[in-house]
Structure 1
Amino acid sequence: MGFEEPDVTGMQAYADELRRTFLRLQEEGGELHRQARAIEVTEKSRDGLISATVGARGELVRLDIDPRIYRHPDARHLADSITDTVHRAADKARQRVLDVFEPLIPADQMRAHLDGDLETVMAQLADQMAGKEKRRGPA
């Protein structure tokens, strides 16, 4: 059994890419973070009677319920409609966060970070270091 020779050139290129990305994060990261934190998305229910506003992390910021909803009281339908509306707003907010960071962090990597998916993050890092995944340099 022999050891595979490391791809020193590939590892150096990846290290250079990480350095450039880090420097860009230092320069632009604060502004991108500010933009991401300021994201709020408002979504209306399919019947238009519920309006939910969420922040960048999908947290509910505001919920408005049109009084006409009480004309046909159905607690289960109301709860389902609120949940669906909040989830759709949270999905849009998450996509906006991905869009804000896209110039520096590929969406699939950022998505794994946001999901707390350490296994995927580590696999992506290992693939990049091994030269298995196409790297993209900073714009």
Structure 2
Amino acid sequence: MEPYGSGDAAELQAYADELRAGFLRMQQEIPALHERARTLQVTEKSPDGLISATVGARGDLVRLDIDPRVYRRPDSRQLADTITATVQSAAAKARERVVEIFAPLIPGEQMKAHLEGDLQAVLDQMTARLPGER
């Protein structure tokens, strides 16, 4: 890595100013976005409409409704698979909604990486934005 020259100092100052402005904006807007995300619930129905799963923002199961008609076909393995798939679908949609909620402040790919717990991807994305690292 080459030492920063005078042009690089101006670039670094511009980047620092951008970071500061972004931080101040986040400080003002994040509480409301966080509240929206915290109270988010997504409901998904199974393809046959017999299972309904509601999850929270983290994909945690909040409510599960099973139509009594499932007993017409007593296949516990199929029922379990349908419940699992429906909950997973609802959780995926909840993650998408959280990304949408924070999109005004946090780039979508960065938020997705954060939600997936992919710290390396988050750090790589942040590093790519540093001056001189492109």
RMSD over equivalenced CA pairs, Å = 1.4
SS at match of 1:129: coil
Gaps of at least 5 residues in structure 1 are 134-139
Cα pair 2:15 2:131 within 8 Å, conserved:
no
**Which structure is higher in RCO with an 8 Å CA cutoff and minimum separation 6?**
1
Q: Percent of counterpart pairs with the same letter?
A: 61
TM-score normalized with structure 2 length: 0.91
TM-score, normalising length from structure 1? 0.88
Deviations 1:25-84 (A, max 9, x none): 111110000011111000000100000000000000000000100111001100110011
- Name stretches of at least 5 consecutive residues in structure 2 with no aligned partner: none
Equivalent positions of 1:83-94 (< 5 A) are 83-94=84-95
Q: Which has the higher mean CA deviation after the structures are superposed, 109-118 or 42-51?
A: 109-118
> 1: CA distance between counterparts of 2:133 and 2:83?
44
- For 1:56, give the aligned amino acid: A
Task: Indicate the residue corresponding to 1:5 in structure 2.
Answer: 3
Deviations 1:62-116 (A, max 9, x none): 0000010011100110011001100111111111100010000010011111111
8 Å contact 1:52–1:89 — kept in the other structure? yes
Tell me the residue number matched to 1:26. Answer: 27
Structure 1 residue runs of 4+, over 4 Å off?
none
Cα drift, residue 16 of structure 1: 1.4
Q: Cα distance, 1:131 vs. partner? A: 4.9
